[in-house]
Chains A and B, each alone.
Chain A
Amino acid sequence: MDPAHIRNFCIIAHIDHGKTTLSDRLLQMTGTILLRDMREQLLDGMDLERERGITIKAHPVRMHYKGKDGEEYELNLIDTPGHVDFAYEVSRSLSACEGALLIVDAAQGVEAQTVANVHLAMKQKLTIIPVINKIDLPNADVPSVLRQIEDILAMPAEDVIMASAKMGQGIEEILEAVIKRIPAPRSHEPDSLRALVFDSMFDTYRGVVTHVRVFDGEMRPGTLVRLMRSKVDYEVKEVGAFNPAPVRQESLGSGQVGYVIANIKTTAEVKIGDTITLTRKPAKQPLPGFLEVHPMVFSGIYPIDTSNYEHLKGCMGKLQLNDSAFVYQAESSIALGFGFRCGFLGLLHMEIIQERLRREYQQDIIATYPSVIYRITKTNKETLEVDNPVHLPDPSVIESIEEPFVKAFIMIPNSEIGAMMALVLDRRGICHNTETLDNRRVMLTCEMPLNEILVDFNDKLKSISRGYGSMDYEQIGYREGDLVKLDILVNGEPVDAFSCIVHRSKAETRGRALALRLKEVIPSQLFQVAIQAAIGGKIIARETVKAMGKNVTAKCYGGDITRKRKLWEKQKEGKKRMKSVGTVNIPQEAFIEVLKTN
């Protein structure tokens, strides 16, 4: 394909503004998907994506479009996720493109990730096409949103396209704008090959499938290529494009987006951001790669049945092949046995990994309370980083504990400033700046401990603002805090899965709430169960789960013992789904409930 007729763009927006739905319409209009194969949010192919109605992974797809100028174009679109946890997916996708469609919801207006994603796109010098979507909504407020786009994003109102992805309005105009406004790809080192690896996937049958954007040169089956950073050579086995299913092509040329299959065995061999070049005639300069993403949230994942450890390990490996942002490492716990310490980009990312393990891999697992990385200075001046409360040294040898802070940008309606500030304060944050965005909304810039926004801050923000608030944040370094470890003991034994590091001022309330909640979710057992919360060895709360009352089945008539045995077996099966800690069976939900207790 002649690069002059190629356009590469991604769709970016705040979560739920309609990126995937707009992709549906583009796929339909360009005839990429036949009407009968069409289903809503087609690109959200994973079960979890469909169920939750959100995009988790960036999805590339190639379309063909005949413009009003009569020319045939190849359009490579990448639909991206809107949630903060997956911001790295957006930045990678952007680096494979020359332009971006920026979607803004006509009722919600510009939100925190709208701003964040525009910044990302601008940094990469992409052409941005602003689109106001959902203009069909009864509460659409196009004039205000136009003003916000001008005032907050500094984009001229005349550039904005009006659309309704749902009703199919404005789609052709968008396609025309894509071919007119977005520049065609240009080659800088035409003599060699340079293809950027922006994602990779593991396919059981075909091995590692790398997603690439070719900047210079061409690749076809048989081409001998080199990964410039890892300096390993491969022979290309197959190249292709996404339709959205992978479709084999003869070649991938300059400007094109597609996939490459070489005999790469594990995704560990390919670093996302690496450049593929020719073995015989390597390019002078690799393409700029990506900053490595670092997990921010850590949690232990343990098999309920300890004998499943090896199996779980295998599943973790497979998951990681498709999600390089997920890291794991073996650890063990006194209460829970052998398991893994896992790192995630955020809480949603954590939930999704856990859910995929449960559903796609049928693993019965429990997860420990999430933690950030703390920096400890001991009295002997030694320093260490701790991502698991269990490893916190004895308080007597701790000189100071530092915790990660973030700068949070919170957009909310004017009327909610008071309530929002109170929430920030309650979460040990400080507001530095209040900026008026337009006559209805303000942006608060705050500094807060990451730990405090991890679990339920976003939910609180949404409820305070009745859905009209949003937040973006970035890490800004470490600060000292008066932090203590809160332990939960079950029948006198500390259960590390429930331990957390909290600010001293909150430890007692939290301890009490946790003990109470656990009492409610731990079913009564043969013996009574004592639940205690302790700070530094001092018990601050105690609850008791009473021993079970009568539990005997009815008359066993006419020797139908099999039926009775089945009943016992079922009862036993039910217990298998619980984690036995000492002699106490703790249901999976208890580990989830502690997350919600605040």
Chain B
Amino acid sequence: MIPAMGIRHLYIHVPFCPHICPYCSFHVLPARREGARRTVDLLIQEHRSIAHDLHPDTIFLGGGTPTALSTEMLRELLAQVAGVPGNPVEFTSECNPSTLPLPKAAMMLSLGVNRISIGAQSFDSATLKILGRTHSADAIRACVKTARDAGFRNINLDLIFGVPGQTPASWRQTIEAALSLKPQHISCYGLTYEEDTDFFRRHQQGDLKSDGALEQEMFHAADRLLTREGFHHYEISNYALPGFESRHNQSYWRGEDYYGIGPSAVSTVRGKRITNSRFDGQGWMPEPAENLSRDTLASERMALGLRTSEGVDEADFASHFGFRPVEKWKREIQWLIRGGLMSDNPTLQLTQRGREVADEVATHFV
């Protein structure tokens, strides 16, 4: 195969949501016409500026809620993106239930989007309410139907567990409900309390409680129910039918280079990581680049790669970084393997128990 020129992965951040969720720590703003207009113009401009160095295999349009943009604005943005040479085998757009009318979906498909990721979160109305989500379970069903009707054959549902008040039984029902819609991909995220969110404050005040043991149970339940239906648990939070693993996300976990455009977006290109500032009403700017040392990249590769089922291939790792993981982290690796958190056969990867405590494990490599 002839290697394609340029960077092969692109992320686009659209910072608007019709309604801001109280647990959300992403850079999001209430959707307003003027801001959206300016943002789309600048996104197009920013995309142009990197186009010469881009040859995307995967594109991810995220946010925020990209479908909160009007059909017209979204079309302009997608037309710009589609105009650049590349072979985007996977082009995902996030959307929220009730933001995807059929004509918009059809337009997106026609301009290259081939995967829809729906922020379903839950099919239980009590859980949706605590999460501050305004949609209903029926809206999710309708959204999936619209996407299908428009022609999408690769659909992901995002689900959240560990929500205060959520029981293992209601979580299992949510998974069953999701499965009944026959998506190709399901992401199950544990709720976290991120700084600067309303949930964080309420958690600190003791008003919202987390329960590690309960989350553990739900994590197991998801694994059981989804793998039984033929889903492949290919990363801690991600399940896919064979062949539908998200290539875009895999590129992050494999330590590949990517461009990110839009406010707060991050690019990692040739040893430099650049984060854009947030949208201040006028625009955004790249912040000073972080030079990633070999050691930092190696640490990230370990911490992220371990989370996936393909794991970290020692020989491949060594060819990138010049040393094998065991040379640097001998004690840690031995200890984690002996403790049943990690395995090294055939690649370095976390066991099911290891995945439950992946962040704790990651601290041993950073």
Contact = CB atoms under 8 A, between A and B. Distances in A.
A445 B339 CA distance: 58
Interface in A554-571: 554-562, 564-565, 567-569, 571
A592 interface: no
Contacts of B355: 552
A560 B215 CA distance: 24
B197 to A, nearest CB: 11
Interface string B168-196: 00000000000000000001011110100
A186 B260 CA distance: 86
Contacts of B275: 560, 562
B265 interface: yes
A284 interface: no
A557 B26 CA distance: 8
Interface stretch (A16-24, A241-249, A287-295, A543-551): A543-551
Interface in B314-366: 335, 339, 341, 355-363, 366
A556 to B, nearest CB: 7
A583 interface: yes
Contact of A571 (B258, B335, B341, B360): B360
Nearest to A556: B252
Interface stretch (B38-46, B71-79, B147-155, B299-307): B299-307
Contact of B266 (A546, A549, A554, A561): A561
Contacts of A548: 212, 357, 360
Contacts of B304: 561
A174 B325 CA distance: 77
A553 interface: yes
Interface in A329-350: none
Contacts of B194: 554
B273 A562 contact: yes
Given A549-B215, A554-B192, A558-B265, A526 B360 contact: yes
Contacts of A565: 296, 299-300, 303, 366
Interface centre among B214, B358, B362, by most chain A C-beta atoms within 10 angstroms, is B362
B141 to A, nearest CB: 23
Nearest to B256: A559
B212 to A, nearest CB: 2
A559 B264 CA distance: 11
A546 B213 CA distance: 10
A572 B216 CA distance: 22
A555 B237 contact: yes
B236 interface: yes
A561 B300 contact: yes
Interface centre among A524, A527, A565, by most chain B C-beta atoms within 10 angstroms, is A565
Given A559-B11, A562-B290, A553 B266 contact: no
B16 interface: no
A502 B192 CA distance: 46
Contact of B356 (A552, A554, A572): A552
Nearest to B261: A558
Interface centre among A550, A554, A568, by most chain B C-beta atoms within 10 angstroms, is A550
B311 interface: no
B97 interface: no
B115 interface: no
Contacts of B214: 549
Interface residues of B, number: 52
Given A551-B212, A551-B356, A571-B363, A558 B290 contact: no
B91 interface: no
A554 B162 CA distance: 11
Contact of B258 (A551, A559, A575, A583): A559
B219 interface: yes
A575 B364 CA distance: 11
Contacts of B258: 559
Contacts of A526: 339, 341, 357, 360-361
Contacts of B273: 561-562
A558 B11 contact: yes
A554 B363 contact: no
B97 to A, nearest CB: 18
Interface centre among A549, A552, A561, by most chain B C-beta atoms within 10 angstroms, is A552
B221 to A, nearest CB: 12
B13 interface: yes
Given A558-B260, A568-B363, A550 B252 contact: no
Given A550-B357, A551-B356, A568 B189 contact: no
B69 to A, nearest CB: 17
Interface string B261-273: 0001111100001
A567 to B, nearest CB: 7
Contacts of B211: 549
A569 B62 CA distance: 27
Given A526-B357, A562-B290, A552 B62 contact: no
A550 B366 CA distance: 20
Interface string B218-241: 010000000000000000110000
Contacts of A572: 363, 366
Given A552-B358, A575-B363, A559 B260 contact: yes
A559 B266 contact: yes
Given A550-B356, A558-B13, A558-B260, A569 B190 contact: no
Contacts of A557: 26, 62
B272 to A, nearest CB: 12
A550 B25 CA distance: 20
A571 B215 CA distance: 20
A444 B341 CA distance: 61
A389 to B, nearest CB: 30
A568 B341 contact: no
Interface in A570-598: 571-572, 575, 583
A281 to B, nearest CB: 68
Contacts of B25: 554
B123 interface: no
A567 B360 CA distance: 10
A558 B357 CA distance: 22
Contacts of A567: 359
Nearest to B362: A568
Contacts of A524: 212
Interface string A489-522: 0000000000000000000000000000000000
B258 to A, nearest CB: 6
Given A552-B190, A565-B303, A559 B252 contact: yes
Given A557-B26, A561-B266, A562-B275, A552 B11 contact: no
A548 to B, nearest CB: 6
Nearest to B161: A550
B216 A549 contact: yes
A568 B268 contact: no
Interface string A520-547: 0000101100000000000000000010
Given A527-B339, A551-B357, A555-B187, 18 more contacts: A524-B212, A550-B190, A550-B212, A550-B357, A551-B358, A551-B359, A552-B190, A552-B358, A557-B62, A558-B11, A558-B62, A561-B252, A561-B304, A562-B266, A565-B303, A568-B363, A571-B363, A575-B363
The 8 closest A-B pairs by CB, nearest first: A549-B212, A550-B215, A554-B192, A572-B363, A549-B216, A549-B213, A550-B216, A568-B366
13 contacts: A526-B357, A548-B357, A549-B356, A550-B212, A550-B219, A551-B360, A553-B192, A553-B359, A555-B158, A558-B266, A560-B275, A569-B363, A571-B359
